[in-house]
Chain A
Amino acid sequence: GAGVSQSPSNKVTEKGKDVELRCDPISGHTALYWYRQRLGQGLEFLIYFQGNSAPDKSGLPSDRFSAERTGESVSTLTIQRTQQEDSAVYLCASSFVGDETQYFGPGTRLLVL
């Protein structure tokens, strides 16, 4: 079946612009996660959507970052007024709530000039 998909696969933007990154989770997965991975570093948790519960936003680095999820489907991560330090790969993962295995998408490579 289809895995987690993300779009765009690559995004180049100018400092100060807003960007939207999209994640399509595996159908039926009730949990969705966003991570950031800077070059040569490990994954940094950003936000976690668990079913109908309030999302865990504890990993968002600033108020320029926000994310939404429509029901149990698509999620959008928005970065406002991008900065050069926002350049990274943004990874999305989904799972069933209670299932310990997260399935990752291929990521969106964001470059802020």
Chain B
Amino acid sequence: DAKTTQPPSMDCAEGRAANLPCNHSTISGNEYVYWYRQIHSQGPQYIIHGLKNNETNEMASLIITEDRKSSTLILPHATLRDTAVYYCIVRVRGKLIFGQGTELSVKP
């Protein structure tokens, strides 16, 4: 089963880009990479997902390396409301397997 590894915590200055890395070296060819975030005391919120091409939506951009062994979530202009735990996830037999995530703290 594909697993993901992320740094446990990161800081980012308000207004700067937040770049959150994720390693998924055992991902198989047809597994998507998903990103969710969880703001304190709330349920997780979907951000973005991708297979091999880079993706962008109104919340973030997702950069996936050519070998698909790692990816980076980019929040282009982080705000204080982006402070949350960010989960990089792969879907294994229909299930999202959440790891510990990265706790992003956006500071003024």
Contacts and interface: CB of A to CB of B under 8 A. Distances in A.
B42 A45 contact: no
Contacts, number: 49
Interface string B26-56: 0000001010100000111110010000000
A50 interface: yes
A65 interface: no
B94 interface: yes
Contacts of B87: 42-43
By DSSP majority rule, is chain A's interface helix, strand, loop, or mixed?
strand
Count chain A CB atoms within 10 A of each CB in B93, B95, B98, B100 and give the residue with the most.
Answer: B95
Nearest to B32: A100
Interface of B: 32, 34, 36, 42-46, 49, 85, 87, 91, 93-101
